[in-house]
C-alpha cells in the first residue's frame, strides 16, 4: 500500500500525512526489497508460571478460593502479588453450569400440594398415641395450612375434606 502511493507520485511526507505513519517508517518500507516481517517476541516467564500446574490440580480437586491458593503457593516460594493469582484462577476455574429451572405457575384455586405425616407420639389418658400432621400449600398464593391430629392412620381419607374446607374459608 505504501509503495503503491509512492509509485503514484506522492511524496513521503504526503504519504505520512495520509496514513499517519512516521516518515522514517514509510522510507523503510519503500526502500526494502521485501516487506519487513514482524519479529517474534520471546515471552519472558512470569512469576506464576512454575505454580500454574499446582493451581490447576488444586482447582480440579475442589473449587478453592484464589486467596487460599495464593497462601499455599507462597508457602512453596511464590513471591508475586495476589492479583496475578486471582486473575489466573478466574480464567482457569472450571465453569459450573447451573441448570435452568422451569417454575410451574397455577391460577388461583386450581392446585395445592398436600402432605400427611406422622410427627411423633403423645401421651393421652395414660396411652401413647401417634400424632399426625396435615399440611397443604396452595399453588398460586403459596399459603400454608397445617393441622395436627391424634387418631389411627386409616382415618386419613376422612379428614382431608374438612381440612380443605377450613383452608378455603381462610382465603
| Residue 129 burial class via C-beta count within 10 angstroms: exposed 0-12, middle 13-18, buried 19 and up | middle
**Half-sphere CA count of 33, side-chain side, radius 13 A:** 0
What is the chain's mean pLDDT, rounded? 84
Residues 6+ apart with CB under 8 A from 64: 58
One domain, residues 27 and 57: no
Which domain does 20 fall in, by range?
2-31
Asked if the structure places residue 76 within a domain, the reply is yes
Give the C-alpha separation, 15 to 23, whole Å.
Answer: 8
Q: What is the pTM of this model?
A: 0.39
Domain count, the chain: 3
Asked if the structure places residue 39 within a domain, the reply is no
One domain, residues 130 and 162: yes
Model pLDDT for residues 44-102, shown as the tens digit of each residue: 888 999 999 999 999 988 889 999 999 999 999 999 999 999 999 999 987 778 888 88
Asked if the structure places residue 64 within a domain, the reply is yes
Asked if the structure places residue 135 within a domain, the reply is yes
Asked if the structure places residue 148 within a domain, the reply is yes
Q: Is 137 helix (H, G, I), strand (E, B) or coil?
A: strand
One domain, residues 53 and 85: yes
Residues 6+ apart with CB under 8 A from 155: 149
- pLDDT at 166 (0 to 100): 64
- pLDDT at 162 (0 to 100): 64
What's the pLDDT band for 142 if we cut at 50, 70, 90? confident
Q: What angle do CA 63, 68, 71 make, to 5 degrees?
A: 150
- pLDDT at 39 (0 to 100): 78
In the 8-state DSSP scheme, what is residue 97? Answer: P
Give the C-alpha separation, 40 to 53, whole Å.
Answer: 26
In the 8-state DSSP scheme, what is residue 154? Answer: G
H or E stretch at 117: strand 112-124
Amino acid at each position: 500500500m505504501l509503495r503503491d502511493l509512492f509509485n503514484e507520485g506522492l511524496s513521503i511526507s504526503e504519504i505520512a500525512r495520509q496514513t499517519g505513519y512516521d516518515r522514517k517508517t514509510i522510507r523503510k518500507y519503500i526502500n526494502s526489497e521485501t516487506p519487513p516481517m514482524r519479529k517474534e517476541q520471546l515471552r519472558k516467564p512470569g512469576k506464576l508460571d512454575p505454580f500454574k500446574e499446582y493451581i490447576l490440580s488444586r482447582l480440579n480437586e475442589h473449587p478453592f478460593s484464589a486467596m487460599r491458593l495464593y497462601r499455599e503457593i507462597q508457602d512453596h516460594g511464590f513471591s508475586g502479588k495476589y492479583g496475578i493469582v486471582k486473575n489466573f484462577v478466574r480464567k482457569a476455574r472450571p465453569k459450573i453450569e447451573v441448570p435452568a429451572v422451569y417454575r410451574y405457575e397455577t391460577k388461583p384455586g386450581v392446585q395445592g400440594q398436600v402432605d400427611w405425616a406422622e410427627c411423633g407420639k403423645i401421651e393421652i389418658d395414660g396411652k401413647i398415641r401417634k400424632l399426625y400432621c396435615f399440611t397443604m400449600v396452595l399453588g398460586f398464593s403459596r399459603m400454608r395450612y397445617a393441622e395436627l391430629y391424634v387418631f389411627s392412620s386409616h382415618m386419613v381419607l376422612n379428614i382431608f375434606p374438612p381440612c380443605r374446607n377450613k383452608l378455603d374459608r381462610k382465603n
